[in-house]
Amino acid sequence: MSTGNLLLIFCVVVAVSPLGRIRLGGKDARPDYSRLSWFSMLFGAGMGIGLVFYGVSEPVSHFTTSMAGGAAAPLSGAADDAAGARDLAMAATIFDWALHPWAMFAVTGLALAVFAYDFGMPLSMRSAFYPIFGKAVWGRLGDGIEVLAVFATIFGLATSLGLGAQQAMAGITFLYQISSSPASILGLIAIMAGITFLSVRGGIDRGIRILSELNMLVALGLLIFVLVTGPMRELLADLVRNIWVYLQNLPALANPVGREDTGFYRDWSVYYWAWWISWAPFVGMFMARISLGRTVREFIAGAMIAPSLLGILWLTIFGDASIAHIVAGDSAGLAKATLDQQLFVLLGALPWPQFTSFIAICLILIFFVTGWDSGTLVIDTMTSGGRTDTPLRQKAFWLFAVGGIGVMLLLTGGLTSLQAGSIATGLPLGLVLLLMCWGTLKGLLALHKAI
């Protein structure tokens, strides 16, 4: 938790300082992608499946259980009515998905981009530590950093793939009454592996970029549908209120000591922070690969602030619509549904449930492919000394290796095993990210001095 706070402070300080004017790749460098394509790829690689999975279930869980008030509430004051419980639930949910996780990604991406584009070093984790350890990073010390980053990326990505497969199968079961079994989940993952292989073969321009832009359009369409068919006026008002409640209680939520709300603190925030940290090498390296020509300030804003606002919008529409449904009576049984089914139960209570549930399944599967594709490319780059021109068979190896680990974790322990895999790599990699801030700061100061 302290690591998350320090990384967020680092991003804010660098962005508002004169260092924010430095352009990645030099003053004459220009971006390879439009802002829309760039942002779509950032968001799709960063949080797609997780946000769809937890966008309904986390607000509902907090609203109906520990966050409803009393000593379990992490915010100031007890929630003794539905409105207060709603505020607690939404503030806690937004805290888990907004600024902190994106700061972890931004720190990693900025470090890799600076040393790759401005210092001509390999696009690898070890490069960011050159200002601290010198030539030692090209030896066993650097190998250790890379191995840790690869393991963290594999488990973080496997967690997301497991969540995506689990929720997509829950939607198929809800929509088509096909039972969710190990065999059906394996069949679904096998089909998605074939599609992901075609996307990997197409590369970033013909694969990830096209799918990411399609993802944004589908997600926006589903978001607008839930907004229009739900209590639209109340949801729009809730958007402003949620941002205010989140910012108002951010210090209390980010406080790492003396917490009484251990259920929320350990089971949600600590798990999320470890998951985000384990994802940082993957998302950060992917961010770096597509961010040539951006200024440091633009990079941090695009990688941290813009996705946070979009995430708050998504959580508000889906979370508050679900809470409003529960307060109104919850005839569909939303509060009692499993985590992976709650999105489809919500859509089932709205018009055209068959169509919208099908669209939601498609959205999950597209996020599934983009996350698996971009993760494969990043792991391949990390294990190749920063090279991006490796043969297709090597990329295919990592694609199926990550998928296989995700399948094993999912089938042997479900969500608990997926969470444990991410948490196991969170702490050591968190210390690596803090050191990365130091190396990045030294690199940026050297560039600023040379201007």
> pLDDT band at residue 77, thresholds of 50, 70 and 90?
very low
Domain residue limits, the chain? 2-436
Which one is predicted more confidently, 13 or 39? 13
Q: pLDDT digits over 38-62, tens only?
A: 877 776 655 667 788 788 989 998 8
Please give the average per-residue pLDDT across 121-150, as a whole number: 92
Asked if the model's pLDDT at residue 36 lies above 90, the reply is no
Q: pLDDT digits over 166-184, tens only?
A: 888 888 888 888 887 888 8
Is the domain defined by 2-436 classed in CATH 1.10.3470? no
Q: Within a 10 A sphere around the Cβ of 124, how many other Cβ atoms?
A: 24
Structure tokens at 147: 């191995």
Which one is predicted more confidently, 209 or 20? 20
Please give the average per-residue pLDDT across 272-297, as a whole number: 87
Instruction: Return phi, psi of residue 359, to 5°.
Output: -60, -40
Mean pLDDT of the chain: 84
Task: Give the dihedral sign, CA 183/184/189/193.
Answer: positive
Of the listed ranges 47-56, 70-79, 142-151, 374-383, the least confidently predicted one is 70-79
Q: To the nearest whole percent, how much of the chain has pLDDT over 70? A: 91
Of the listed ranges 102-106, 253-257, 426-430, the least confidently predicted one is 426-430
Q: pTM to 2 decimals?
A: 0.86
Of the listed ranges 59-73, 236-250, 371-385, the least confidently predicted one is 59-73
Please give the average per-residue pLDDT across 137-164, as a whole number: 84
Asked if the model's pLDDT at residue 368 lies above 90, the reply is no
Asked if the model's pLDDT at residue 225 lies above 60, the reply is yes
The pLDDT of residue 13 is 96
